[in-house]
Amino acid sequence: MAAKYELKKTSDDQFMFNLKAANGEVILTSERYKAKASAENGIESVRTNSPDDTKYDRREAKDKSPYFVLKAANGEIIGKSEMYSSTSARDNGIESVKRNGPDAKVDDQA
């Protein structure tokens, strides 16, 4: 299975996407968008920004779990990772988004 963006409609009639690695793991989750076109623009923003290491903000949750966010050129958050068990696991997640983000196909389920 190849990496893909799963574009979905949420229960509150908004739109969001997950970037899934080839193994099916979710590696990035978007915010919710009111319009499908906005979610599609979000996917294009991930494609553009994901190869650039400076666009990743490495963070730590209150419980000390490492995670990351991917930001657009304007500083807005495009997507967020899951919580990881270690900083090395988080860094592997970033590398996966860098590798898969630019070329993953869209699976439109909306």
Question: pLDDT 10s per residue in the chain (110 long)?
Answer: 799 999 999 999 999 999 999 999 999 999 999 999 999 999 999 999 999 999 999 999 999 999 999 999 999 999 999 999 999 999 999 999 999 999 999 999 99
DSSP-based three-state secondary structure for 8:
strand
pTM higher than the cut 0.75: yes
Handedness of CA 74, 76, 80, 83 (dihedral sign): positive
pLDDT at residue number 34: 97
Residue 82: the pLDDT is 95
The domain defined by 4-108 folds into: PH-domain like (2.30.29)
Where do the DSSP E strands lie in the chain? 4-9, 15-20, 26-30, 56-60, 66-71, 77-80, 105-108
Q: Distance (Å, rounded) from C-alpha 75 to C-alpha 80? A: 13
DSSP letters of 65-79?
Answer: -EEEEEE-TTS-EEE
